[in-house]
Chain A
Amino acid sequence: MKKIYLDNAATTPVSPEVLAAMEPYFTNKFGNASEPHFWGQEARKAIDEAREKIANFLGAKPKEIIFTSCATESINLAHKGLVESIKYKVSSTKCPHIITSLVEHKAVLESCKHLEKIGWAKVTYLLVDKYGVVDIKDIKQAIRPETVLVSIMYANNEVGTIQPIGKIGRLIKEINVSRVACHLSPVYFHTDATQAIQYLDCNVDGLGIDLLSFSGHKLYAPKGIGALYIRSGVPVVRQQDGGGQEYNLRAGTENVPYIVALGKAIEKVSSIKYQVSKRTKRLRDKLINGVLKISGVKLVGHSNKQVPHIATFIVEGAEGEAMLLLLSDKGIAASSGSACTSGLLKPSHVLTAMGYKPQEAHGSLRFSLGKDTTLKEIDYVIKVLPEVIKKLRKMAPKLI
């Protein structure tokens, strides 16, 4: 049976070029980059080169890039590290304030909740519209004298909606001009760019981003490597104590092969970003057109403020996990925001924030494409999905 992987927003395979680049660093070039001898310096050089590639990609300076284990770690470090730092620096008795949105990844939401729980921050969770987009006016209104961080994801992992990152960056810059005059802490801007990094402009200066998190395994590097961009001058205290690695911001012997892999993966992405984006979008649009021919199916998210690799649908009269199971029987891997697929038995927080009812989220189905997705595969999905939905609808009670 053919196997069709349409869950690239969850993770991607390591590409052969990336694997080849990282391989020597497991065996021959195994040195600890903190050591002054040949082996150590060989590792150091490899890390420096990878850091430079990532810095170039983001339009940043190498010393503004911190390697971490994943986007979740980057996000934790950005949020907790910034709040901890400002808490000590600002003698105000007021609690630092964070603005984020209800559709963020759990890593952001849970980091914020943690800071609230220990009393280190107050958090505003912004509502979104039916497409999942935050309103720039809401951000402006939510900013208070004690606001230190706005954290809005670049593209949503469940529905693919792109947030107005450039506009938010500009707004924050404008606001900061007057704040500095009033001796208030500037507002810093963090974005979780995990789903955007491959496809969208990530120039941190152009977009006005102060902190940016992403991981390697969504772009053909291995799981277990990520990075955090921290603009020079943004105060962050490390959350993992130990040696002085990563400019004193993330202790622990550097994971050299994985760092090399991330550098290689980013290099690859930047050289073919436009082409891949166009090709992926074409295939995704074909999938959308085909799937929307099935009655009682609607597309979720925005029709053009959308990353090219994600297509999420809501299917009436069929449950997500059951659809995944029957698709899996046909060799197709996808994903769902149904309560039945989550260990916590809760419908997707993203879909509910967008105004979908739990029973609608119950029938959600996400396909996410990758660089290896073919037209033939998309055609096969368009052929098979109606049968799967028909089978499940036949089983379901007529509710009206």
Chain B
Amino acid sequence: MNFNQFYSKKVLEHIRHPKNMGEIKNPDGVATVGNPVCGDIMRLFIKVKDNRISDIKFQTLGCGAAIATSSMITTMVKGKPLFEAEKITKQAIAEALGGLPSTKLHCSVLAADALKRAIENYRSNK
């Protein structure tokens, strides 16, 4: 597999230099989602202030696309109001990454799902 042809430049950039990677101690919301198709696991931590995502971090065990989609979603929603963050779709994540190979589109589903559930977790904790 030639990774430079398989993945877009943006995807490779996020894999090599992931943004917002790590853990938030005492998060306001957290969710762990697993992909039964391939075995990838993604965890998102959020801090919420004035109904905005004030901080977000990810941890991912998965392929390049899983790492890139988690990294990308954190940059897309950091600082955004919850109602806007919730609207992020799997297509929007893939587009922001300059596209994903068709066999990897399910990774963006995983990222969108993780965020939705982290926000739900925040609301149920309130």
* CB < 8 Å neighbour of B1 from A324, A358, A361: A324
- Bound together, the chains give a CA A322 to CA B118 distance in angstroms of 25
Which among B14-22, B46-54, B76-84, B86-94 touches the partner chain? B14-22
Q: Which residue among A318, A341, A395 has the maximum number of chain B CB atoms within 10 Å of its CB?
A: A395
A20 within 8 A of B: no
The majority secondary structure among interface residues of chain B is: mixed
- Encoded as 1 (CB less than 8 Å from any B CB) or 0, chain A from 320 to 363 comes to 11101110110000000011110101010000000000110110
B61, A339: Cβ atoms under 8 Å?
Answer: no
Query: Which B residue's beta carbon lies closest to that of A399?
Result: B41
- How large, as a class, is the contact surface on chain B? 20 to 34
B38, A397: Cβ atoms under 8 Å?
Answer: no
A397, B60: Cβ atoms under 8 Å?
Answer: yes
- How large, as a class, is the contact surface on chain A? 20 to 34
A322, B64: Cβ atoms under 8 Å?
Answer: yes
* CB < 8 Å neighbour of A319 from B18, B32, B61: B61
Query: Which A residue's beta carbon lies closest to that of B61?
Result: A396
A347, B39: Cβ atoms under 8 Å?
Answer: yes
Complex contacts, A362 vs chain B, CB 8 Å: 38-40, 61
Complex contacts, B21 vs chain A, CB 8 Å: 394-395
A343, B103: Cβ atoms under 8 Å?
Answer: yes
> Shortest distance in angstroms between B61's beta carbon and chain A's nearest beta carbon?
4
Complex contacts, A169 vs chain B, CB 8 Å: none
Given known A-B contacts A339-B39, A343-B103, A345-B37, A395 and B63 have beta carbons under 8 A apart: no
> Shortest distance in angstroms between B97's beta carbon and chain A's nearest beta carbon?
15
A317 within 8 A of B: yes
Given known A-B contacts A321-B64, A322-B64, A339-B39, A395 and B59 have beta carbons under 8 A apart: yes
Query: Which B residue's beta carbon lies closest to that of A328?
Result: B3
- Bound together, the chains give a CA A149 to CA B121 distance in angstroms of 58
The majority secondary structure among interface residues of chain A is: helix
B60, A358: Cβ atoms under 8 Å?
Answer: no
Given known A-B contacts A329-B16, A340-B38, A340-B40, A319 and B62 have beta carbons under 8 A apart: yes
Complex contacts, B56 vs chain A, CB 8 Å: none
A-contacting residues, B62-80, CB 8 Å = 62-67
A345, B61: Cβ atoms under 8 Å?
Answer: no
Complex contacts, A395 vs chain B, CB 8 Å: 18, 21, 59-61, 67
Complex contacts, B67 vs chain A, CB 8 Å: 322, 395
Complex contacts, A338 vs chain B, CB 8 Å: 38-39, 63
* CB < 8 Å neighbour of A397 from B3, B16, B37, B41: B41
B1, A340: Cβ atoms under 8 Å?
Answer: no
B15, A397: Cβ atoms under 8 Å?
Answer: no
A339, B18: Cβ atoms under 8 Å?
Answer: no
Complex contacts, A320 vs chain B, CB 8 Å: 63
Complex contacts, B59 vs chain A, CB 8 Å: 395-398
Complex contacts, B18 vs chain A, CB 8 Å: 395
Complex contacts, A392 vs chain B, CB 8 Å: 61
Complex contacts, A361 vs chain B, CB 8 Å: 39
Complex contacts, A399 vs chain B, CB 8 Å: 41, 61
Complex contacts, B62 vs chain A, CB 8 Å: 319, 322, 340
> Shortest distance in angstroms between A221's beta carbon and chain B's nearest beta carbon?
24
A-contacting residues, B1-45, CB 8 Å = 1, 3, 15-16, 18, 21, 32, 37-43
Q: Which residue among A317, A340, A345 has the maximum number of chain B CB atoms within 10 Å of its CB?
A: A340
A319, B66: Cβ atoms under 8 Å?
Answer: yes
> Shortest distance in angstroms between A193's beta carbon and chain B's nearest beta carbon?
27
Complex contacts, B61 vs chain A, CB 8 Å: 317-319, 362, 392, 395-397, 399
- Bound together, the chains give a CA A399 to CA B67 distance in angstroms of 17
B15, A339: Cβ atoms under 8 Å?
Answer: no
> Shortest distance in angstroms between B71's beta carbon and chain A's nearest beta carbon?
9
Complex contacts, B16 vs chain A, CB 8 Å: 329
- Bound together, the chains give a CA A72 to CA B18 distance in angstroms of 41
> Shortest distance in angstroms between A122's beta carbon and chain B's nearest beta carbon?
32
Q: List 6 A-B contacts (CB under 8 A).
A: A339-B39, A340-B38, A340-B62, A361-B39, A395-B21, A396-B41
Beyond the given A321-B63, A326-B15, A340-B38, could you list 5 further A-B residue pairs with CB under 8 A, ordered by the A residue number?
A: A339-B37, A339-B39, A340-B39, A395-B59, A397-B42
